[in-house]
Structure 1
Amino acid sequence: MRHRIGLLLGTEEDWPSAFETVLRRLGPIKGMGEFDVERVTIEPFDLRARPRHSLVIDRLAYWYYHPREWLKKISMMDDVYLLNSPFTFQSMEKHAAYCAMMRLGLKVPETVLVPYKNPPDNARYAYTAARYNRPFDLDEVAERIGYPLFMKPYDGGAWRGVSLVRDRDELHRAYDASGEMLMHLQQAVQGYDAFARSLSIGAETMVMRFRPEEPMHARYTVDHGFLSPAAGEEVVTIGKLVNAFFRWEFNSCETLVKGPDVHPIDYANACPDVALTSLHYYFPWAIKTLVKWCVFCVATRRRPRIDLETHDYFAVTGTYEERLAEYRRLADRYFETERYQEFCDTHLGHIDEVVLEWVAGPEFDRLLVDTVTATYPAHEHDRFVEHFSGLLRLWVKDQG
């Protein structure tokens, strides 16, 4: 039996090449057949045509509508498995995700959505605004939230349009600059102890220390003990809850940890960062886990779930700790965590050795050099090849 996994890609080359390499090196899975990878092309599609794919990893449709509609079609009509549901992309615009997690009792900072600074380009806007838009006092809204605060687009990504606002002057400068972007004002978590970014792929989550003020190559810090066990477990639970709730299986979550409290601030990312030059030390884990989850979903004929079943989550009551425990149970049920772990132990027990041999060998070295060459100017190539090589050598040493 042969299974085909599709990659729907934009500009990325490093992790798709790595994914293809690991899947090829893995070879046929006993009793499950062979797995092929195909990069999906964009072309007219018949709504009744049968797709060639068992599963598709999408990294494009959050902004490109033609492939998004193809994903909806193959999911709804053909049961092709998708790691992120195209039916909840609107929630990737942050606002609905904030609302859902607030209702579920998570410690999301105080957040207010304010109208556009500049009206959208729509002929009906002037009449509607004149009749129904109420005047509002931006200063009053900010003072009610409290300084400092962040102004950020409700549909933002990659830190686009994010401003730290410390006083009235910065508030108005940021709002004037927002133009036609629809903005949230969100309370800042002052004096936090740790910024955690967790990358979730299926039933697994890697929590990493994140330093947003650093350049991209230095933002993820190799630090295995920066959170207490309780905080680390809560960060994992929040990420799994968000993903199970919205049917996202390839997503990242940002949380600020202050004392005993964990505050989720950004957890709706249709295209999470998995670049080699960003994740470096954590890149092999990401590729290995992505391969494992895809193989598990295809081999076990895991069915795509369009129904969100939000009522199960909204019905949960009790203390914060009791609700977290029940949310984790619901999320683990959705991800079939025990079945996944058993599958990996039974059928993918050799993948750790496969990935370790690959990262320690010349094929990975070529991928690293090619990625650095494509990413950085020529005068920085040697510096960054050595920088990332050192981090990956550390990973190989730790695994060995």
Structure 2
Amino acid sequence: MTDHLIGLLLGAEDDWPRAYEALLRRLGAVTAPDGGKHRVRSVRVSIEPFDLRAKPQHELVIDRLAHWYYHPREWLKKIALMDDVYLLNSPFTFQSMEKHAAYCAMMRLGLKVPPTVLVPYKNPVENSRWAYTAARYNQPFDLDAVAETIGYPLYMKPYDGGAWVGVSKIRNREELHAAYDASGERLMHLQQSVEGFDVFARSLSIGPETMVMKFRPELPMHDRYAVDHSFLTPETGDEVVTISRLVNAFFRWEFNSCESLVRGTEVHPIDYANACPDVAVTSLHYYFPWAMAALLRWTVFCVVTGRRPRLDMDTARYFAIADDPQLSYAEKLAGYRRLADEYFEVDRYQEFCATALAHVDELVLEWVTSTEFDSLLKETVRATYPPHEHDRFLGHFGGLVDAWVRDQG
């Protein structure tokens, strides 16, 4: 029996880690294609001083913390560079998760990203060299002229934002200047609004699995993900999946969400860099069991098959497709999909799941209908909402999860 240890590097969340831990315990021994027996367990990673030459016990780490906490980020870099520990999201491309580099890369690959401009800080940053550098090199610019070039309406949003913080829809000159004045020391993008879009699609990808969901950002978080299995045509849905996989394979991200606006037959990706994608049961509800099953399958596949981390970016192969004038947009997407599927070893993964992990769906269904899941849901609701709303949200989320259970039959 070969033992494998997966580390969970966590922040404030507790619901999905408890779910993942419970499913991993229930999984038991896994028989690999070569007949070898494997046992996988997890441990929550603590933060403490680390020797750069110390050997970690973990073979894989699921990171949900290092995008803002630099000490564990440096530990992740160390164990990736020195110890070949597998990471679901590369710590070497975290800056690309600040949106700007991700926009640039996907524009370079020809995706239909709306016109976007990065504008300088409104207020000086805290640096003793600011005054001299700004006086000598910062060029005055006409914010109104920049906005007119993009066209109203547009969005102003932080280049390193998350959770919609600091995002403003700008309809005129007055709103433009009010939002820019309020931005302070935050570095902002101006991005053309995709007006008249038909649907907002949010896709969650875990390894080579992707769930595309209808997203309604104007609603409270517990209502944003609509349960709708046919809101996109098969062709458009496949394009959204391809864009999601392309982004992830390109940047070595394997646990990420992507947001796209669909207008007619065109898909406009607007945000596709998320170091800590939402997987809370109180957000995903109906889709939560799928997310846990996908996370279980991918992490077990990685450690049991000895999948090696790929730290090199390999961008030239993607750019060769982008720069080929003989290829149509659809043909380029197909080429990107081939590269992404190659990176994620889709065929090998599917074969592994069909043999070694064929029972995972049944296992997840049994767990979701157990008293253990019922306790997790109740405790999460009580920790998230005020007492007078407990019954309402227990009924809301319980009903949505029950709908998922019925659909499995």
Determine helix, strand or coil for the equivalent of 1:99. helix
* 1:32 CA displacement: 3.6
Aligned pairs (5 A) from 1:356-395: 356-395=365-404
2:353 to 337, 344, 361: 344
Quick one: distance in 2 between partners of 1:149 and 1:167?
Answer: 9
Aligned twin of 2:405: 396
Aligned pairs (5 A) from 1:94-173: 94-173=99-178
Quick one: distance in 2 between partners of 1:305 and 1:77?
Answer: 13
1:186 to 188, 191, 197: 191
Determine helix, strand or coil for the equivalent of 2:163. coil
1:226 to 225, 231, 237: 231
Quick one: distance in 1 between partners of 2:82 and 2:128?
Answer: 37
Quick one: distance in 1 between partners of 2:262 and 2:84?
Answer: 39
Quick one: distance in 2 between partners of 1:169 and 1:59?
Answer: 39
Q: Which runs of 5+ in 2 are unaligned?
A: none
Runs of 4+ in structure 1 displaced over 4 angstroms?
A: none
Q: What is the number of equivalent residue pairs in this alignment?
A: 400
* 1:361 CA displacement: 1.6
Aligned twin of 1:214: 219
The alignment status of 1:36 with 2:41, answered yes or no, reads: yes
* 1:25 CA displacement: 0.6
The alignment status of 1:8 with 2:3, answered yes or no, reads: no
Deviations 1:205-225 (A, max 9, x none): 000000000000000000000
Determine helix, strand or coil for the equivalent of 1:33. strand
Aligned twin of 2:92: 87
2:306 to 301, 310, 322: 301
Aligned pairs (5 A) from 1:271-282: 271-282=276-287
Aligned twin of 1:56: 61
Aligned twin of 1:26: 27
Q: Is the contact made by 1:32 and 1:299 (CA closer than 8 Å) also made in structure 2?
A: no
* 1:360 CA displacement: 1.2
Quick one: distance in 1 between partners of 2:235 and 2:37?
Answer: 38
The alignment status of 1:255 with 2:260, answered yes or no, reads: yes
Quick one: distance in 2 between partners of 1:25 and 1:346?
Answer: 17
Q: Percent identity over the alignment?
A: 74
Letter in 2 for 1:294: T
Determine helix, strand or coil for the equivalent of 1:265. strand
Q: Is the contact made by 1:95 and 1:154 (CA closer than 8 Å) also made in structure 2?
A: yes
Q: Which runs of 5+ in 1 are unaligned?
A: none
Quick one: distance in 2 between partners of 1:249 and 1:309?
Answer: 16
Deviations 1:10-53 (A, max 9, x none): 00100000000011111111224111110000000011111000
Change (3 A) 1:104 1:142: same
Quick one: distance in 1 between partners of 2:245 and 2:361?
Answer: 23
The normalised TM-score by structure 2 is 0.97
